[in-house]
Structure 1
Amino acid sequence: MLTRLFTPLRIGPTELKNRIVSTGHDTVMIADGLVTDQLVAYQAARAAGGAGLIVLQVGGVHESARYTSHALMAHTDECIPGYRRLADVGHEHGSLVYAQLFHGGREVMESADGSLGVSYAASAVPNERFRVFPRAMEIGLVREVIEGFGAAAQRLQAAGLDGVEIVASHGYLPAQFLGPDTNLRADEYGGSFENRLRFLREVLETVRRRTGGEMAVGVRISIGEDGPDGLTADDALEALATLDGAGLLDYVSVTRGSSASLAGSDHIVPTMAREPGYTTPLSARVKRRVSVPVIVAGRINQPQDAELVLERGEADAIGMTRALICDPEMPNLAAREEFDSIRACIGCNQACIGHFHAGYPISCIQRPETGRELLYDLKVPAREPREVMVVGGGPGGLKAAVVAAQRGHRVTVYEAGRRVGGQVLLAERLPGRAEFGGAVTNLVNEAARSNVKIATGVRVDAAFVAEQAPDAVVIATGAQPYRPKFEFTDDAVVLEAWDVIQGEVPPPGPVLVADWRGDWVGIGTATMLAERGRRVTLATIGYQAGELLQQYTRDEMLKQMLMAGVTVAPLTRLYGADDDTAYLQHVLTDEPVLVEGISAVVLAQGQAPDTTLADELAALPADRRPETHAVGDCVAPRTVEEAILEGMRVGHAL
């Protein structure tokens, strides 16, 4: 029984129906700084799914807070109607709705037209990650921004929101004022701890004055920023104790890290390399210093884990943002104790923060309906149930099967191998990537609940299709390793990365991994071999290993690879090999690069689509050719995200 997770919680003048929180996160569902229909539909799904509290993404409180071209802004009355729509959809389902109030200070990522704008911070201390050199705020601007927080809160109150959260986390402006290494001011906002706290204190005082005590007012803060000039945990804790003692806080939202450094930013959306709930010792420290409720976020993706955090008294409510991105129905399912029906987040970061970093609306590789609620959230029943054959049990085929079956079709998946899962079965074998296998576990469970039949060990050809006579065929036959025309001598030992991942062992001695794609295959295989005691050189055509991976995932994999002792040869392509030497070519200068003394070359050269069945069916006469659809790598080799997305689309189209 999740007795604690589904107990109401009082925060200031508001009461949460349960302790599950969707914490503030950018969605890239904004137009001209304002709320869109897409954002309303996105948040409505979380509210309908049973979240107790939805904290909206950051709202800029001043024109200088516009940190991206898709920032939500709360600095003019124009924002009120959009925020009111968000409040209404939350309240319709019994969810409280708070909003984050934000100024990033030196954190400016981009502008609307691509030019570099001016960033304003407590002091002229540069940002390491984005390499922005800010301008120190004049005293007039400081006071203008403080009043901007209060005015924005008043607008959100008029819009019907229940609370506001001051973002002092991840090295943003309030933290820049509070930190001694980012605040070099000599006026009343700098110097002593009391002066450095003055900015945040006055922000909270102004917000409370402008809202009259009728909204919950909290602060989000990093307990340790993990950066070279970041706010320390001790200073953050002392600030919270002081503000709580002054009666300025209704709650504290705890996180870790800073957006200003690479290592610090990896905590913003921690990957599967981090233990679930790894930040809870920090929230426990906060609870010992403050008298108000504490929310914690940090890789807590299962309701049972959330219950344990509450049971241990480490927090009062749990931020489960990616869990809700992956499965908005998680709270309702957990309340009914239907735990096996919950689609668990695997911490891959591909379509959530990965989309944000690329400037696209966020989604989820496992649930591509997320962010596309207006198009796909409702599964329209099929007008006439049909027999559907899905060939290939990878993620794309399984998703197509699930969606088609949910719409009423009779679906059978045929998989040539002994297990369904496709390349996910490879990815889960790599160091630090075991949780990736959850993507297939979740899909298999969904298939079972949707009455999808799965037949393994069956290789399908055109004759088999004709024998079964389905109404429609979904081809999801995937891809196979691609091998370009290299010059290998007969005594060169050449292996495929897929085979090494599955257990094939290169001869004793140093190994070269030749990586073309720059994804998880090359870096993961190199790390696996190095952790088994091999000397490994990773030759990649990119500037760095893992170049196509989302930054936080890449950082974790790079760290693990470097700690394992892998040597990286960037900007090199493989040309050929003999028994003990790999011959490379620099991709910019065409100069030869030799790696000598190796025992084997392992190829990670991407994949080629398996179009065998598609070609056979296309060659049939029109009157014998079944309705066919293709998804995933057999169309063009990409990632699991595209495979599942295409599977969903085909499932809706059948």
Structure 2
Amino acid sequence: MRSQSFERLFSPLTIRGHVIRNRVLSSGHQTYLAEQNLPGPRMIAYHEARARGGAGLIITESARFHSSSTSDSLDLVIQNDDAIPHFSSLAEAVHRHGARIIGQLSHSGRVTRRMAQGMRGVVFAPSPVPDHRFHTLPREMPTDMVAEVIAAAAAGARRYAQAGYDGVELMASHGLLFAQFLNPHSNLRSDIYGGSFENRLRPLREALILVRQEIGPEHIVGLRISAAEDELSGLEEGDVINICKSLAAEGLIDYVNTTFGSMAALGASVHVVPPMEIEAAYLASKSHAIKAAIPVPVFLAGRINQPQVAEAVLAEGQADMCAMTRAMITDPDMANKARAGAADDIRACIGCNQACIGHFHAGNPISCIQNPVSGRETLFPVKPVKAPASKRVLVIGGGPAGMKAALTAAELGHDVTLAEAGPQLGGQALLAQLLPERAEFGGLITNLQTELARHEIRIQLNRQIDAAALTDIAPEAVILATGASPYLPPVEGADAADMIELPDLLKGTASPGNRVVIADWRCDWQGIGAAVKLRREGHHVRLAVDGICAGQNLQQYVRDYWAGKLHELEIEVIPYARLYGADTDSAYFLHTASNQPIILEAVDSLVLATGRSPRLELEPVLQAASLPFITIGDCATPRSAEEAIYEGLAEVAEFLGS
């Protein structure tokens, strides 16, 4: 990456008298860091890290402002004045580092299961129109309840203002409640809140009017809205432009924060947190169209993961501020590094979705596979504390676990040697980047290599470690990160079948026949990626998954994206299929729920995505040498890059820090 000045990205933006120091935005995103539904030490430390790292504006995640939208989830709630001191502590932490802060107000309407004590609650929406993601059929919100919700939004805004926030943002994005009122397909009402455009706009318009009355002229009032909802019954681009024009003409909004998609349908939900398979800044033309229609600043979100991408969007006049949320989850210091001319040192987000939105969907606090400190700021020191004494440390294995381990050991002040048996660093990530539309996963390797280069670490490639090598290097502590090898399950008739291990397919060292069956035990991107790769190369492909669906173990936006690709490519998916046997022209599976046979005929080649086995051959060698060591990553047990990198930080710091 060549050095850039990023003049537009680091120019100030003034909104209603508030000077925002640059155009770098951390947009509202659910963190699950709330404590008792309020900002606490973990959430404060998380946002403070981004403010310290140079962000211009931080919009904190959507807070529930009315009881009809609360659940057992770890969401923020801002329904009474007792919350004000907690939000004030967060605002003070952000302001302390020169950033501005705005708070979101949100009501999900029909796009929720509204779980409490394991049960679904009563869900209210403009009309009893079901969504197609949560499978909720809501109850129509009575007219007086609509007015109550509008008033509650204004009360929530007042609490933000009293807490010292610079402004508030109402959410009419992603098919949420205000968007449901705006949409004639989800708003079938016959009262003053339904029917005409003016009536459907009324709830949002009245809420904005009351918000301004409550917070006064000195605070910012923003609107988040999807530029289009990308759903059969969703708002279209022209509708959204008219909504923004109407509200801006009345002076009710100080900015528009654009996104895309809807949470009311599986396919449209991918735009909430678009993964690496989607082009960077792919929504810039959408924000540009809105910007051309209204006189207030327009923000843009959607895969803006590098400062040069944001600079290009700003240079083209497509937006006034760029949401770089995941970029700062991966590297909280991204803005400061770019401003200082050290863009090459930025740890770039690769859009994997695994530990950010993936954690959130699993009910866990968010983090990042590349940056385990993210979301855990209260657990790890801002800067590593040097160990009392420097040791000679040998790290064996140059995959993500070994690379992170070497970095951690060096930052603790140790003398580090990293030995990798192969010709290059990267481990399993080298294979992951070869799958269709997943080349960006290789950025994980690039980022780690960049960090390694900043330390005096001896890297020895093509170096096999045995007892003699241990004597030669003479380490005082060893970190074993030798990874894993493909696992070959017992397959009856295997000798007669053309069976291909997935790594050989990806590396091009195996040539499958025309009709291919993929045995996908992993139920992740490997089997799907192999299926798409082979289909695009002209093969007939069937994907037999040992789970309930293809991509069962993927973050749901990634899973749904690839489910669409599999359907478009006419790849047959056979669920509940456990590999049992194979012969010259058939593959045999057992249905995992019934134990009945699934016989796939006319098979030329069987591709195995059947997992990996840990490589443990060096453990007894280290034990015999009486060397202190730990085992991390896949050679502890095969998992993903997230666990490998986490252990390369946390377990190594514990092992070598004292």
Class of the TM-score when normalised by the shorter of the 2 chains: over 0.9
Note the 1:288-299 alignment, pairs <5 A: 288-299=292-303
User: Which of 429, 435, 459 in structure 1 is aligned with 2:434?
Assistant: 429
Pair 1:637-2:638 in alignment: yes
**Identity across the alignment (%):** 47
Asked if structure 2 preserves the Cα contact closer than 8 Å seen for 1:67 and 1:107, the reply is no
C-alpha displacement at 1:81, in angstroms?
Answer: 1.1
Q: TM-score, normalised by structure 2?
A: 0.97
The 2-side partners of 1:409 and 1:650 are apart by: 15
Q: CA deviation digits over 1:163-185, x for unaligned, max 9?
A: 10001100001000000001001
Residue in 1 aligned with 2:598? Answer: 593
1:626 aligns with 2:627: yes
Q: How does 1:67-106 map to 2 (within 5 A)?
A: 67=71, 69-106=73-110
| CA deviation map 1:493-548 (0-9, x unaligned) | 11101111111333432011111111122111121111111111111111111110
CA drift at 1:398: 0.5
> Which of 576, 585, 588 is residue 583 of structure 1 equivalent to?
588
Relative to structure 1, the CA distance from residue 97 to residue 421 in structure 2 (aligned partners, 3 Å threshold; closer, same or farther) is same
Q: 1:9 to 1:68 in 2, by over 3 A?
A: farther
Match of residue 14 from structure 1:
18
Higher mean C-alpha deviation, range 379-388 or range 281-290: 379-388
Indicate yes or no: 2:351 matched with 1:347.
yes
Corresponding residue of 1:535: 540
Deviation at 1:36, TM superposition (A): 1.6
2:62 corresponds to: 58
1:224 aligns with 2:225: no
Give the Cα separation in 1 of the matches to 2:154 and 2:570. 52
State the distance in 1 between where 2:416 and 2:570 align.
48
Q: Structure 1 residues 612 and 14, CA, compared in 2 at 3 Å: closer, same or farther? A: same
CA distance in 2, matches of 1:312, 1:362: 33
The 1:377–1:554 alpha-carbon spacing in structure 2 relative to 1, beyond 3 Å, is: farther
CA contact (8 A) 1:7 1:19 kept: yes
Asked if the contact 1:489–1:579 (Cα under 8 Å) also holds between the matched residues in 2, the reply is no
Is residue 482 of structure 2 the alignment partner of residue 481 of structure 1?
A: no
CA distance in 1, matches of 2:112, 2:588: 43
Displacement of 1:407:
2.0
Is 1:36 aligned to residue 37 of structure 2?
no
Counterpart CA distance in 2 for 1:557 and 1:199 is: 37
Assess if the C-alpha contact under 8 Å between 1:462 and 1:613 holds in 2. no
Aligned runs of 1:123-272 on 2, under 5 Å?
A: 123-272=127-276
Please state whether the residue corresponding to 1:174 is helix, strand or coil: helix
CA contact (8 A) 1:535 1:565 kept: no
Residues 229-628 of structure 1 correspond to what in structure 2 (within 5 A)?
229-378=233-382, 379-618=384-623, 620=624, 624-628=625-629
- Per-residue CA deviation, residues 358-391 of structure 1 (Å, 9 max, x unaligned), is 0000000000100111111421112112111100
- SS of corresponding position for 1:625: coil
Task: Measure the CA separation in 2 of the matches of 1:235 and 1:225.
Answer: 10
Aligned 8 A contact 2:500 2:512 in 1 = no
Query: Shift of the alpha carbon at 1:110?
Result: 4.0
Q: Which amino acid aligns with 1:51?
A: A
CA distance in 2, matches of 1:89, 1:7: 23
State the Cα distance separating 1:565 from its structure 2 match.
3.0
**C-alpha separation in 2, matches of 1:103 and 1:508:** 53
C-alpha deviation, 1:554, in angstroms: 1.3
Alpha-carbon distance in structure 2 between the residues aligned to 1:598 and 1:101:
55
CA deviation map 1:303-361 (0-9, x unaligned):
01101100000000100000000000000000011011000000000000000000000
How many residues align structurally? 650
CA RMSD of aligned residues (A): 1.1
| SS at structure 1 position matched to 2:119 | coil
Counterpart of 2:531, as a letter, is A
Of residues 190-199 and 106-115 in structure 1, the stretch that sits farther from structure 2 once superposed is 106-115
Show CA shifts across 1:90-132 (max 9, x none).
Answer: 1100000100011111122442411110111111111110001
* SS across alignment from 1:549: coil
Query: What is the CA distance between 1:584 and its match in structure 2?
Result: 1.4
**For 1:153-201, what per-residue CA distance to the aligned partner results, in whole angstroms no more than 9, with x for missing partners?**
1111111000100011000010000000010010111000010000000
Q: Distance in 1 between matches of 2:398 and 2:429?
A: 11
Task: Say if 2:496 and 2:582, in contact at 8 Å, map to a contact too.
Answer: no
Q: How far does residue 68 in structure 1 lie from its aligned partner after superposition?
A: 5.2
CA distance in 2, matches of 1:491, 1:115: 52
Measured after TM superposition, the shift of residue 557 of structure 1 is 2.2
User: What corresponds to 2:651 in structure 1?
Assistant: 650
For 2:636, the aligned partner's letter is V
Deviation of 1:67 (Å): 4.9
Secondary structure, counterpart of 1:626 in structure 2: coil
Does structure 2 conserve the Cα–Cα contact (< 8 Å) formed by 1:479 and 1:610? yes
Q: What is the CA–CA distance in structure 2 between the aligned matches of 1:109 and 1:123, rounded to whole Å? A: 16
1:12–1:217 Cα contact (<8 Å) kept: no
Structure 2 spans left out of the alignment, 5+ residues:
none
Distance 1:169 1:571 in 2: 37
* Whole-angstrom CA distance in 2 between matches of 1:39 and 1:405: 29
CA contact (8 A) 1:400 1:649 kept: no
**1:466 Cα deviation (Å)?**
3.0
Shift of the alpha carbon at 1:600?
A: 1.3
Runs (4+) of structure 1 exceeding 6 A deviation are none
Contact 2:71–2:116 at 8 Å: present in 1 too? no
What's the CA shift for 1:417? 0.7
- After superposition, the Cα gap between the structure-2 partners of 1:109 and 1:469, relative to the gap in structure 1 and judged at 3 Å, is farther
The separation in 2 between residues aligned to 1:509 and 1:275, in whole angstroms, is: 31
Q: Secondary structure of 1:375's match?
A: coil
CA distance in 2, matches of 1:278, 1:489: 46
Give CA deviations for 1:44-94 in whole Å, capped at 9, x if unaligned: 100100000000000111111215521100111121111101110111000
Q: Contact 2:248–2:295 at 8 Å: present in 1 too? A: yes
Paired with 2:496 and 2:613, the residues of 1 have a C-alpha distance of 26
- The answer to which of 336-345 and 591-600 deviates more is 591-600
Residue in 2 aligned with 1:118?
122
Distance in 2, Cα, partners of 1:494 & 1:255? 45
Q: Aligned equivalents of 2:504 and 2:54: distance in 1? A: 44
Whole-angstrom distance in 2 between the partners of 1:93 and 1:473: 40
Distance 1:172 1:68, change over 3 A: farther
1:399–1:651: 8 Å Cα contact kept in structure 2? Answer: no
- Runs (5+) with no aligned partner, structure 1: none
Cα separation, 2, equivalents of 1:178 and 1:32: 32
Residue 31 of structure 1: SS of its match in structure 2?
coil
Give distance in 2, aligned partners of 1:67 and 1:228: 28
Of residues 250-259 and 397-406 in structure 1, the stretch that sits farther from structure 2 once superposed is 397-406
